[in-house]
Amino acid sequence: MGERVREISFSEVSVGVLDDTPAGDVYRPILTDVNVTLDESTIAIIGANGSGKSTLLQLFNGLVTANSGRVLIDGLDPIEEAKQVRSRVGFVFTDPAAQLVMPTPLEDIELSLRKRVPKAERRAAALAVLEELGIADLAERSVYELSGGQRQLVALAAVLAVDPQILVLDEPTTLLDLRNKEKLRKLLADLVARRGVRVIFSTHDLDFAGMADRALVVDSGRIVHDSTPDEATRMYRELIMSDSS
C-alpha cells in the first residue's frame, strides 16, 4: 500500500449544537460549509472570540465531530480511525490545567510515555523532553507552583513526548510573557525544521501569526480569508474595524 497523502482536508464541514430555548431546541451553527486543504508546515488560524477557531482545531483529532461533511487527516478519518489519528496529532489546549494531571512535570511526561517507553527508561526520556524545551529545571517542581506560562510549556512537553507528526495549539501564547513567547516561536520553528512536525495554531497575537507559512481568517463560523500571514492579518484588522464602526 502506498504512502498516505500528507494533507489535511475539510469538505463541506459544518458543526452546530442544539440550544434549549423556551420555544424548543434551536440549532446554532458553529462552523458552516468549511472547505479547505492544508499541506503547509506551519498554519495560523486567526479570528475573534466565538468565531469558531477552537472548534475548527478540535476537528483535527476528533475532539469535536462534524454534523456534516468530511474531515481527513493524511487520508484518515478522525472518528472512524481515531486511534491512528490521535497517534499522529498532538493537541495543546489554551488552559494547561486541562492537560496536566500529575503533581510534577516529570511525572506528567512519564505518564504520557507509559505506552511508548519501558518503565525503567521513562524518567530519562521525560527529562530529555524537558531539556529539549529548556525547562528541565522545572522537572520536580509542583505544577501548582508554576506560572501559567511555565505550565503551558510543560503541557507542550507532555504532548511532544509522544512524538506527534502534527502539533495543534489553541491560542498557545495567551499565558506567555514576551521571553517565553519568543522561546515558543523558536521551538516551533525548530520542530518544523528538525523533526518535520507540522504546526497548526490559533492566535490573537497577530505578530506571532507571522511565523506561519499560511494563515486562515475565521469569522462567524466560516473561513473568510486564506493567504499569507501579512495579508490575512491586514484583512482581519479591516474586518474588526468594520464590525466596530
Concatenating the DSSP letter of every residue in the chain gives -PPPP--EEEEEEEEEEEEEETTEEEEEEEEEEEEEEE-SSEEEEE--TTSSHHHHHHTTTTSS--SEEEEEETTB-TTTTHHHHHHHEEEE-SSGGGT--SSSHHHHHHHHTTTTS-HHHHHHHHHHHHHHTT-GGGTTS-GGGS-HHHHHHHHHHHHHTT--SEEEEESTTTT--HHHHHHHHHHHHHIIIII--EEEEEES-HHHHTTSSEEEEEETTEEEEEE-HHHHHHHHHHHHHHHH-
pTM over 0.95: no
Residue-wise pLDDT tens for the chain (245 aa)? 445 568 999 999 999 998 988 888 899 999 999 999 999 999 999 999 999 999 999 999 999 999 999 999 999 999 999 999 999 999 999 888 888 899 999 999 999 999 889 999 999 999 999 998 889 999 999 999 998 888 989 999 999 998 899 999 999 998 888 988 998 999 999 999 988 999 999 999 999 999 999 999 999 999 999 999 999 999 999 998 887 65
Check residue 2 and give its pLDDT.
47
**CB under 8 A, 24+ apart: contacts of 78-83:** none
Domain encompassing residue 104: 8-244
- Residue 2 within any structural domain of the chain: no
Check residue 3 and give its pLDDT.
54
- Residue 82 within any structural domain of the chain: yes
- Residue 1 within any structural domain of the chain: no
- Give yes or no for a contact between 206 and 236, defined as CB atoms under 8 angstroms apart: yes
Check residue 179 and give its pLDDT.
87
Check residue 116 and give its pLDDT.
86
- Residue 76 within any structural domain of the chain: yes
Check residue 5 and give its pLDDT.
67
Assign residue 161 the CATH number of its domain: 3.40.50.300
Check residue 175 and give its pLDDT.
85
- In the chain, the number of structural domains is 1
